[in-house]
Amino acid sequence: MEALICRGLFAHDMYSLVKSFMTKLLLFSCQIGNKQFTHFPTLQQITISDQNLERYTSLLLALHAEFSHHFEDFRMIENDMASISSPFTCDVDNAPSDLQLEAFKSAPLPRFYSSLNEQNFPKIKAHAQKMLVRFRSTYVCEQPFSVRKFNISKNRSSISDNHLAAVLRIATTEMTPDFTSLVNAHQRFSSSH
């Protein structure tokens, strides 16, 4: 809970820490009730009466209830905080109604990560680049083989190497030609002769 004292934490960060702690309290209570002392090595070494186990369990549950009571205001605005802290993964149905349409228009992840400041987030940015490129590069590598296989089928066995290279280049590019400008330029060029 010392993390709550840190400067620079926003409300959603603090509430996330509190929720995490409350979840641990429930986990500990359940485990102690079931005589599982994984997180309590000292309790593993001694014999504990059922009466004490019940006492520990009820104390943990009481502490959870106390936290729940003190942070009730945060629970009421939990969906609002989720839309800020996790805009890409928040449940749009639970987001504030005036933000729901915009939640669908969230920036693509590559644009979001490229906008991060390199000095402030060097590791996150590097990790995102590594992960985003990994699957994109697999697609880029496999796409030409699919196009090649389609174009060298028995129906197109007479295709030349140069023609195949041109087909592959056109099929795998992400550029969209501006046909209107090309036609207009061609017409101007043709009419001048």
pLDDT in tens, the chain (193 residues): 555 555 566 777 788 889 999 999 999 999 999 999 999 999 889 998 999 999 999 999 999 999 999 988 888 888 777 766 666 666 667 776 776 666 655 556 666 777 777 888 888 778 777 776 655 544 555 566 666 666 666 545 667 777 767 776 777 677 777 888 888 888 877 765 5
**∠ Cα 86 71 22 (to 5°):** 75
What is the Cα gyration radius of the chain? 30
The answer to whether residues 40 and 99 belong to one domain is: yes
The answer to whether residues 87 and 115 belong to one domain is: no
The token duo for 187 is 């017409």
> In a 10 Å sphere around its CB, with 0-12 CB exposed, 13-18 middle and 19+ buried, how is residue 60 labelled?
buried
Domain count, the chain: 2
Domain extent for 53: 2-103
Q: Which of 103, 135, 159 is the last residue of a domain?
A: 103
The answer to whether residues 31 and 62 belong to one domain is: yes
The answer to whether residues 61 and 140 belong to one domain is: no
The answer to whether residues 183 and 126 belong to one domain is: yes
The answer to whether residues 77 and 125 belong to one domain is: no
pTM: 0.48
The answer to whether residues 49 and 91 belong to one domain is: yes
Q: Which of 80, 103, 126 is the last residue of a domain?
A: 103
The answer to whether residues 74 and 115 belong to one domain is: no
The answer to whether residues 127 and 40 belong to one domain is: no
The answer to whether residues 118 and 40 belong to one domain is: no
The answer to whether residues 130 and 183 belong to one domain is: yes
The answer to whether residues 99 and 171 belong to one domain is: no
Tell which phi-psi region holds residue 60, choosing left (phi > 0), alpha (psi between -120 and 50) or beta. alpha
